[in-house]
């Protein structure tokens, strides 16, 4: 794409330097390490690095078009075309969409937002579509998936440039459907601007990220931006659709933000579009009755948890209302669903206790998981956790600590993305007034897991909470490869071999 054509989507800009309007661009990037000859570079001011400080280097690397908020003092001496904008973050979204030829307009794009349940719901939709013959793209907490190709996820929702690149890659791979997790950070920071969303899903809203949003009302507003972006026009022959959890207190905030068609789901209100009850858990599976359009259906999921029934109802509505599949087809596809990695995932290597890996790290998610496991336990309930996110919402720690000491018989505190915070500081804020209770702190997560496994006895339940399917451990600013499921599996094998 020529520079002039790319810049045609920007308004209210100032242009300086060499005129490269007719230059065919080789790339568009915001990472100094990815600059190519005759490429474009967008200077983003991040938390730890400002792209404006590296303009000389990116020009030496071959960049000819630079999108900036401020000009370098020596711009007249540099062989480049500078486009000055008010916000490079905002410009990035429209430029990326234009450069990749508005790829999301050619996709059926489903976006899922909520504090908990985003990964499970989005994975369910992707897997159900796969079972019905669709090639899908999936972007979320665990990984980024383009048909059968997987990439490690750094953020739940990548920046706008990477997101548009992934959409384009999905189209090249033959995908017609994309499901993305829309985090509150992504919505607040404009990462999904110029993503042409067709179906938006709201799972729930409970305390998280208040270090960023400050108040729950701000947090709810950020989530509602997804529904405000949904639009009302038809796309790919279908009307836009909002799918909303009627059981969540913030459901009206989401509903009022959109003019699109709305359907809802509930485990409490039988007047919802789809409703479920008679929920029972047995041997790693959950069975329930589903009520839809005057008919009753029996469904079994290979996952534990009432909340996963709620997630399934959202996926069910996406499949039946948005995609238009009949119930029989969706239920047949459901039989091929095998669960979600790191979400109430049972690890069984023949041991005499139950080992469960789950992503639960917010007060609400932990309350749901711990209350359910405490009801099922025959021995002790051992919880290994560390409050996901050093240098994050520390205000949630007392509440998390209360829940841990309420339900757990034994607690093993350890690292969970500590970043620059010490484990001892995190644990002290979790424990607070419960310091007389019994717990142990083992900083290295692998060693903590080995300890929990070694001390477990017959019929105990160990919940390994917080990491789930994350592929890394964040220590300071380093993303260290890590796989909780495999670490737990190996710890159990080692214990059994002794």
135 is in an annotated binding site: no
Residue 349 dihedral angles phi and psi, to the nearest 5°: -115, 20
Helices and strands: H and E segment counts in the chain? 16, 24
Section 231-242 average pLDDT: 83
Q: What is the pLDDT of residues 147-193, one digit of tens each?
A: 999 998 877 778 999 999 999 999 999 999 999 999 888 887 888 99
Distance of CA 252 to the CA centre of its chain: 23
Window from 115-119, 210-214, 295-299, 434-438 with minimum mean pLDDT:
210-214
Do 40 and 136 have their domain in common?
no
368 is in an annotated binding site: no
Place of tokens 């995190």: 426
Helix-helix angle 363-376:397-407, to 10 degrees: 0
Do 485 and 381 have their domain in common?
yes
Do 155 and 94 have their domain in common?
no
445 is in an annotated binding site: no
324 is in an annotated binding site: no
Q: 65: domain range?
A: 3-99
183 is in an annotated binding site: yes
Mean pLDDT, the chain, as a whole number? Answer: 91
32 is in an annotated binding site: yes
218 is in an annotated binding site: no
Q: What is the pLDDT of residues 420-445, one digit of tens each?
A: 888 888 888 888 877 666 799 999 99
Per-residue pLDDT band for 220 (boundaries 50, 70, 90) equals confident
Beta strands in 400-477 (DSSP E): 410-413, 440-441, 461-465, 472-475
The Cα–Cα gap between 148 and 146 comes to 6
Of 53, 82, 99, the residue at which a domain comes to its end is 99
114 is in an annotated binding site: yes
Checking if the pLDDT of 48 tops 90, the result is: no
Checking if the pLDDT of 203 tops 70, the result is: yes
Q: In this structure, what CATH number is given to the domain that contains residue 449?
A: 3.90.190.20
Of 99, 124, 145, the residue at which a domain comes to its end is 99
Q: In this structure, what CATH number is given to the domain that contains residue 164?
A: 3.40.1190.10
Of 277, 303, 334, the residue at which a domain comes to its end is 334
Q: What is the pLDDT of residues 244-261, one digit of tens each?
A: 999 999 999 999 999 999
The Cα–Cα gap between 110 and 411 comes to 38
Do 273 and 127 have their domain in common?
yes
Checking if the pLDDT of 375 tops 80, the result is: yes
236 is in an annotated binding site: no
Do 226 and 297 have their domain in common?
yes
117 is in an annotated binding site: yes
Domain count, the chain: 3
Q: What is the pLDDT of residues 261-303, one digit of tens each?
A: 999 999 999 999 999 999 998 777 899 999 999 999 999 999 8
Give me 45's structure tokens: 């001011």
Write the CB contacts of 50 (distance below 8 Å, at least 6 apart in sequence): 43, 44
Do 327 and 363 have their domain in common?
no
Question: 288 with 299: CB under 8 angstroms?
Answer: yes
Checking if the pLDDT of 207 tops 80, the result is: no
Do 119 and 255 have their domain in common?
yes
416 is in an annotated binding site: yes
395 is in an annotated binding site: no
Do 193 and 323 have their domain in common?
yes
Question: 341 with 358: CB under 8 angstroms?
Answer: no
296 is in an annotated binding site: no
Q: What is the pLDDT of residue 210?
A: 54
Measuring CA to CA, how many Å separate 104 from each of 64, 127, 314, 315?
27, 20, 22, 21
Do 381 and 483 have their domain in common?
yes
CA diameter of the chain: 75
281 is in an annotated binding site: no
The Cα–Cα gap between 416 and 443 comes to 9
Do 206 and 281 have their domain in common?
yes
* Of residues 450 and 372, more confidently modeled: 450
The Cα–Cα gap between 57 and 176 comes to 39
Do 158 and 268 have their domain in common?
yes
Per-residue pLDDT band for 221 (boundaries 50, 70, 90) equals confident
The Cα–Cα gap between 213 and 218 comes to 6
Section 483-492 average pLDDT: 96
Measuring CA to CA, how many Å separate 110 from each of 119, 310, 418?
13, 17, 32
Q: Is residue 434 part of a domain?
A: yes
Q: What is the pLDDT of residue 44?
A: 94
């Amino acid at each position: 794409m020529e520079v002039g054509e790319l810049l045609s989507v920007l308004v209210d800009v100032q242009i300086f330097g060499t005129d490269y309007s007719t230059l065919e661009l080789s790339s568009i990037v915001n990472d100094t390490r990815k600059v190519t000859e005759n490429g474009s570079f967008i200077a983003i001011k991040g938390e730890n690095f400002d792209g404006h400080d590296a303009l000389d280097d990116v020009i030496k690397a071959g960049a000819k078009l630079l999108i900036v908020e401020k000009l370098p003092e020596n711009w007249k001496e540099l062989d480049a075309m500078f486009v000055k904008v008010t916000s490079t973050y905002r410009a990035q979204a429209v430029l990326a969409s234009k450069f990749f030829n508005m790829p999301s307009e050619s996709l059926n794009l489903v976006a899922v937002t909520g504090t908990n349940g985003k990964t499970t719901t989005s994975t369910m939709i992707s897997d159900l579509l796969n079972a019905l013959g669709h090639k899908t793209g999936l972007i979320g907490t665990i990984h980024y998936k383009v048909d059968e190709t997987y990439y490690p996820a750094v953020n739940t929702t990548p920046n706008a440039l990477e997101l548009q690149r992934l959409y384009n890659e999905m189209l090249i791979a033959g995908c017609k459907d994309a499901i993305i997790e829309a985090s509150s950070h992504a919505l607040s920071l404009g990462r999904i601007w110029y993503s042409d969303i067709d179906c938006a899903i709201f799972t729930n809203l409970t305390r998280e990220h208040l270090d960023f949003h400050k108040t729950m009302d701000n947090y709810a507003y950020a989530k509602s931006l997804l529904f405000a972006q949904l639009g009302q026009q038809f796309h790919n022959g279908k009307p836009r659709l909002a799918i909303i959890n009627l059981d969540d207190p913030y459901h009206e905030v989401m509903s009022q933000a959109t003019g699109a068609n709305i359907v809802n789901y509930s485990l409490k209100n039988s007047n919802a579009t789809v409703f479920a009850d008679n929920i029972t858990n047995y041997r790693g599976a959950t069975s329930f009755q589903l009520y839809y359009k005057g008919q009753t259906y029996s469904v079994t999921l290979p996952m534990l948890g009432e909340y996963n029934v709620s997630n399934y109802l959202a996926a069910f509505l996406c499949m039946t209302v948005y995609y238009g599949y009949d119930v029989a087809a969706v239920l047949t596809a459901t039989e091929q669903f095998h669960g979600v990695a790191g979400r109430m995932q049972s690890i069984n290597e023949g041991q005499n206790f139950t080992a469960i890996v789950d992503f639960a790290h917010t007060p609400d998610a932990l309350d749901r998981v711990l209350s359910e496991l405490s009801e099922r336990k025959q021995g002790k309930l051992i919880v290994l956790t560390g409050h996901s996110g050093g240098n994050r919402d520390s205000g949630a720690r007392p509440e998390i600590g209360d829940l841990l000491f309420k339900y757990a018989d034994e607690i093993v505190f350890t690292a969970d993305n500590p970043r620059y915070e010490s484990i001892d500081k995190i644990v002290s804020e979790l424990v607070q007034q419960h310091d007389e209770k019994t717990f142990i702190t083992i900083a290295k997560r692998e060693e903590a897991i080995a300890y929990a496994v070694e001390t477990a006895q017959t019929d105990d339940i160990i919940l390994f909470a917080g990491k789930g399917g994350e592929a890394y451990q964040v220590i300071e600013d380093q993303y260290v490869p890590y796989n909780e499921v495999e670490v737990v599996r190996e710890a159990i094998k080692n214990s059994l071999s002794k």
